[in-house]
Amino acid sequence: MPSWAIGIDLGGTNIKVAVVDESEGILFEDAQPTDSGSGPDGIVRQLAFLADNLCQRASETLDTEAFAGIGLGAPGAVDTERGTLSYPPNLPGWGRYALRDNLRLRLEQAHGLRSFVLVENDANAAAYGEAIFGGGNAFRDFMLVTLGTGVGGGIILDRKLYRGPTGTAGEIGFMIIDFEGQSVHAGVRGTIESLIGKERIVGLACSQATGTDLSPRLMELCSRDYARLSPRHLEQAAKEGDAVALQTWQRVGTILGVGLANVTALMDIRKFVIGGGIAAAGDLIFEPAMMQLHRSTLPSMHEGLEIVPARLGNKAGIYGAAALCFNSGQPLRSDD
């Protein structure tokens, strides 16, 4: 009988939660703005309330004996063995916090729910979700790269999540591409995130402009207000043939391709799943990235290189957090 679990994606803006069936995927879901001002204890109360509500709803139609537990994907440094979350971005007032144990205690004391609970880094959870339900399902080894406000990643090796000794493996956004460059993120010069994070992509477009103005089409899309220019505008303009927008995406894809080539050279990973909101630009990024990936690797490394889009969108973390409950410590099966 297939298992089911609760998957939670804790973000600085919203908490997303869903009941995920091992065979059918998401059955039903809920979301709520994150009460970030309430601190870690307040957010634990919020998490427990949402999880308990969905557990009660699920128990009306699903076999409670098949309940596998609650998986939580969280931003920041996660110690999966201790269940702690340390200094998460966009969540003020957190130091090192025993998130797993406090959530488990709150569920039991306030809601009478005794459950297995695990905590995982959100990017790792997303990679695991894509491995089981999404774009990485056919691959034994791959890296998920998320392109959004920042650049994140997670690594699957031999169908298992690879975290590294301290849990920080896969942080491709902090890979240095241009150590003498002008772009700086989190105090580190020339990282991928400093070069192709969301805000920097708009900056790239502005730097491509002739004189003081962007192209007429981009100026029209942002109503002549540079502050309103977004990657979505650049995507639309590029698909209409706008030269500035096309050059911008070419540059973004090329930088990404250099980063992927470094991963291939270091770890012999040849499959890449690209997700996040910026990845909606699709081939505008993927094609130059693939060209650069070939240019920046040896011919002996070219066999099997592949870049594919993620399939789960912003629900990958929910899927992955739940799936970790199904497959805790176990290798996954692939389609190949």
Q: What is the SS3 assignment for 147?
A: strand
Tell the burial category of 64 from Cβ atoms under 10 Å away from its Cβ (0-12, 13-18, 19+).
exposed
Backbone torsions φ then ψ of 81, nearest 5 degrees: -70, -40
Sheet with 77-79, strands from edge to edge, namely 77-79, 84-86, 96-97
**Does pLDDT of 332 surpass 70?**
no
The predicted pLDDT at position 329 comes to 40
DSSP calls for 311-334? SSGGGHHHHHHHHHHHSTT-PPP-
Q: What is the SS3 assignment for 101?
A: helix
Task: Of 178-192, 206-220, 275-289, give the range with the top mean pLDDT.
Answer: 275-289
CATH code of domain 138-310: 3.30.420.40
Question: What integer best gives the mean pLDDT of the chain?
Answer: 92
Quick one: which H or E segment has residue 58? helix 39-59
**Which residues are within 8 A (CB) of 122 and not within 5 positions of it... i.e. 6 or more apart?**
9, 10, 11, 73, 74, 75, 152, 317
- Could you report the per-residue pLDDT of 50-106, keeping only the tens digit for each? 999 999 999 999 999 999 999 999 988 899 999 999 988 778 889 999 999 999 999
**Does pLDDT of 211 surpass 60?**
no
The predicted pLDDT at position 330 comes to 41
Tell the burial category of 144 from Cβ atoms under 10 Å away from its Cβ (0-12, 13-18, 19+).
buried
Residue bearing the bigger pLDDT, 207 or 333: 207
CATH code of domain 4-127+316-326: 3.30.420.40
**Does pLDDT of 259 surpass 60?**
yes
- Could you report the per-residue pLDDT of 224-248, keeping only the tens digit for each? 887 889 999 999 999 999 999 999 9
User: pLDDT band at 212, cuts 50/70/90?
Assistant: low
**Does pLDDT of 44 surpass 90?**
yes
- Given the structure tokens 């130091």, which residue do they identify? 95
Q: Parse the chain into domains and list their residue ranges.
A: 4-127+316-326, 138-310
**Does pLDDT of 210 surpass 80?**
no
**Does pLDDT of 336 surpass 50?**
no
- Could you report the per-residue pLDDT of 137-158, keeping only the tens digit for each? 999 999 999 998 889 999 999 9
- Could you report the per-residue pLDDT of 267-326, keeping only the tens digit for each? 999 999 999 989 999 999 999 999 999 999 999 999 999 999 999 999 999 999 999 999
Closest to 103 in 3D by CA, of 127, 125, 71:
71
Task: Give pTM, 2 decimals.
Answer: 0.89
The predicted pLDDT at position 335 comes to 47
Q: Which residues of 280-304 are buried (b: 16+ CB within 10 A; e: fewer)?
A: ebeebbbebbbebbeebbeeebeee
- Given the structure tokens 């634990």, which residue do they identify? 44
Average pLDDT over residues 188-193: 94
Same fold across 4-127+316-326 and 138-310: yes
The predicted pLDDT at position 1 comes to 59
Tokens (6 digits) for 62: 């699903």
Among residues of the chain, what percentage have pLDDT more than 90?
A: 79
The predicted pLDDT at position 209 comes to 67
Amino acid type, 104: R
**Does pLDDT of 47 surpass 60?**
yes
DSSP calls for 72-95? EEESSEEETTTTEEES-TT-TT-S
Average pLDDT over residues 119-124: 94
